Amino acid sequence: DVKVTQSSRYLVKRTGEKVFLECVQDMDHENMFWYRQDPGLGLRLIYFSYDVKMKEKGDIPEGYSVSREKKERFSLILESASTNQTSMYLCASSLQTSGYSYEQYFGPGTRLTVT
Partner 1 sequence: AQRVTQPEKLLSVFKGAPVELKCNYSYSGSPELFWYVQYSRQRLQLLLRHISRESIKGFTADLNKGETSFHLKKPFAQEEDSAMYYCARAGGATNKLIFGTGTLLAVQP
Q: How far is the CB of 77 from partner 1 (least distance, A)?
A: 20
SS3 state at 49: strand
For partner 1, the closer CB: 48 or 64: 48
**Site residues (vs partner 1, CB under 8 A):** 4, 31, 33, 35, 40-45, 48, 50, 56, 58, 90, 92, 94, 96-98, 100-104, 106-109
Q: How far is the CB of 48 from partner 1 (least distance, A)?
A: 6
Nearest CA to 113 out of 90, 79, 82, 86 is that of 86
CB 101 within 8 A of CB 90: no
Q: How far is the CB of 64 from partner 1 (least distance, A)?
A: 16
For partner 1, the closer CB: 53 or 100: 100
Report the distance separating Cα 24 and Cα 3, nearest Å.
8
Q: How far is the CB of 8 from partner 1 (least distance, A)?
A: 15
Nearest CA to 34 out of 18, 8, 58 is that of 58
For partner 1, the closer CB: 45 or 77: 45
> Sign of the CA dihedral 111, 37, 93, 66?
negative
For partner 1, the closer CB: 56 or 79: 56
